[in-house]
Amino acid sequence: MTVRYIGERKADIIPNKEYKVLSIERGWYRIVDESGEDYLYGPSNFEVVEESTKERASA
């Protein structure tokens, strides 16, 4: 899944930039941010740009 960050500017994540979601854990998105490391982010700060093929097939 691809999401766009719509929250406020933070050190390692950029507003309006699209990020690939590696996994969803307890409702949070695991994303590789600008630091090059993967972290969990709350979904309320993102909008879905593209769902994965697997997610569309199960909908």
Instruction: Please tell me the predicted confidence (pLDDT) of residue 11.
Output: 83
CA distances from 8 to 4, 50, 55, 56, 57 (A): 12, 21, 28, 29, 33
How confident is residue 52, by pLDDT bands cut at 50, 70 and 90?
confident
Do 39 and 33 form a contact (C-beta atoms < 8 A)? yes
Overall pTM surpassing 0.75 (yes/no): yes
Which tokens is 29 given?
């998105």
Q: How far apart are CA 56 and CA 26, in angstroms?
A: 20
Which tokens is 5 given?
């960050």
Q: Mean per-residue pLDDT for 38-51?
A: 95
Q: Mean per-residue pLDDT for 31-55?
A: 90
Instruction: Please tell me the predicted confidence (pLDDT) of residue 26.
Output: 96
Q: Percent of the chain having pLDDT more than 70? A: 88
Q: Mean per-residue pLDDT for 23-40?
A: 96
